[in-house]
Structure 1
Amino acid sequence: MSMKAVVFHGAFDVKVEERPKPTIKDDTDALVKVELAGLCGSELHMYRGHQKTKTGHIMGHEFVGVVDSVGPKVTKYKPGDRVVSVFATVCQTCWFCQRGLGNRCANSLAFGTQQLDGGQAEYVRVPFAEGTLQHVPPNLDERLLVMMCDIFPTGYYGAMRAIEFIGKPLLPQAIQNGSTLEKRAATFEPQALKDTVFVVLGCGPVGICAVITAITKGVGTVYVVDAVDERLAEAEAVGGIPLKLGRDDIPDIVMKATDGRGADAVVEVVGNKPALKSAIDLVRVCGIISSIGFHQSELPFTAFEAYQKNVTLNFGRAPISTLFPEALECLRKNKDKVAAFISHEIPLAQAPHGYDIFEKYQARKVVFKV
């Protein structure tokens, strides 16, 4: 039996083709009939040719669908269950998974790569189904659930890494009072964030999710930086203060807002060297850079610069399976704000057009109906 799938053939070249329907290979697999598949900004790295890879695999790491069949060791899901997948498989048994670090699962396979065919297809095989899939929650638009595969939990993670760091500072008075790190962590209060200044670099969907999270959790001031007017308007609509590249004197504005210190935290979402250079320039001494952009080059600053600022750096992808419940709750609280994220819902057969308009910033979020 064959199915339709979006296949990568090289830079700016994806095609909808007939491919064999996948089958259960391992005892922990599930086969999912896809209903909705998202197009994520991180896929543009491959689409534009910036991420070097072989060709011929099925694209897509965001999908929602119905379980078609399961392997004999899968008991959490059964045929007919509605499910949403995280962007990469989670085995649940390795050292990292056992500690909630499924983002670095030792057996992980990334959907939509040479490792594992993705979900921009009529069917997709899901290894380690019990760790990789989540049940579709009730009373939530399933189109919004596409964002729970990657972009919303990733934005949530980027903001929360910064919030947790800023909200639990190593205060001199705490040391004088004889409190331990554990006690300081236990006494973290969200209202402590009301006087903090965050900068989010990049106002694509992930950046907007980070802005929404920061504001929901109580961050007092959130500047948002981008070069695209429409994105800045979207960020402003959810509570961010827009700063446009090439128009605004961003360092001057941030420094004036912080009495010359710099931002308490910078959440970097873009994934390129100029953005990281801006992050190190804008963050204050003893601040944090939370980078969730997909970087593939060397750092644009030296270890000495980082040392001189006593800056904390956090890089990498989110442990979405671990964060899923709390990120979902944040999404629920802001479902009206994120409802407009999906600007284009088009048939899978028109996937090449979807990629084209998304790459040209003519679409905010593209979802393929399968």
Structure 2
Amino acid sequence: MGADNLDDSLTTQTENSPRELLARSFFFVCAFVSILTTVGIVFVLVTEATTFFSETAGLRGVTGPTVSIVDFLTGTEFSIASEQFGVLPLLSGTLAIVVGAAVIALPLGVATAIYLSEYADPQTRKYLKPALEILAGVPTVIYGYFAVEYITPLLERYLFPDIGFFNALSASIVVGIMIIPMVSSISEDAMSAVPDDLREAGYGMGATKFDVSTGIVVPAAISGIFSSFILAISRAIGETMAVTIAAGASPKLVEFGTVGAGPVSVPYPDPAYFLEPIQTMTSAMVQLLFSDITGGGVAYRSLFGIGITLFVITLIMNVLSDWVASRYQEDYD
């Protein structure tokens, strides 16, 4: 007991030393500034977004035209000139980019993570993983110009002669390339955390490396892999400059065709939608910000309506990622 009391006393003295108090205060200020910044952003978004909608504008003394929240969420046209601010065409374009990017990034990212975790020797992994993560440090505007100058001409020459100069397909491809490092890095960390005992048990049963990788390691790391999917998709939803440059600024609602007839007909999105210029929520915000709009007008306030919609979507995705990680995380202790 005497030794325990002595250890507690020494710990208390160390924690109360001027150096420790200074370090604690510094880190507290850093954490407080981060939280305060987040709260400030949310406050501005919520305040200005509620002003944008007609139900609350009168209470705040705002004059001039406003937009009903129902019209905003269900409107099928977005046009500054005609003051039509339906978010569905922008949401349609955003989802098109996200789906296209996910088709490219998710399988390639998981395959890369499997190679780094299970097949690559330590020396190769030492150089390959940082080289892959360099992709995450490239400015997004560079990706946009890369799509316009290289991806679109290649698609036009070899696959789609009628593709537009600005189109959703090249934007989806370049955003998919952008988020591959996020999928591969987080998935590889999850796979590396799987105990070697599970691998050795599989090899002891006569399994091949491919069987162990796909049948043991990937299922054991599925919570981390799925979390990487959601975080990468959230990154694709919030991408701005690459899609602004590559996809254009033409808000369009996706059109649907049908397969079959009568009660067994199945709707499907028109693939030609990916060959045309579209507009996402983020690129619409850029267009609104740099257009000739008045600071207090409805067009300016629509920035915050789109922003709060984007914020809610990404917040849901991140909460879902945390829930999946905690719900399906394996405990090997």
TM-score range (shorter-chain normalised) is under 0.3
**Bigger fraction of residues in strand:** 1
Higher relative contact order (CA 8 A, sep 6+): 2
**Bigger fraction of residues in helix:** 2
Computing the radius of gyration over CA atoms, which structure comes out larger, 1 or 2? Answer: 2
**TM-score, scaled to structure 1:** 0.24
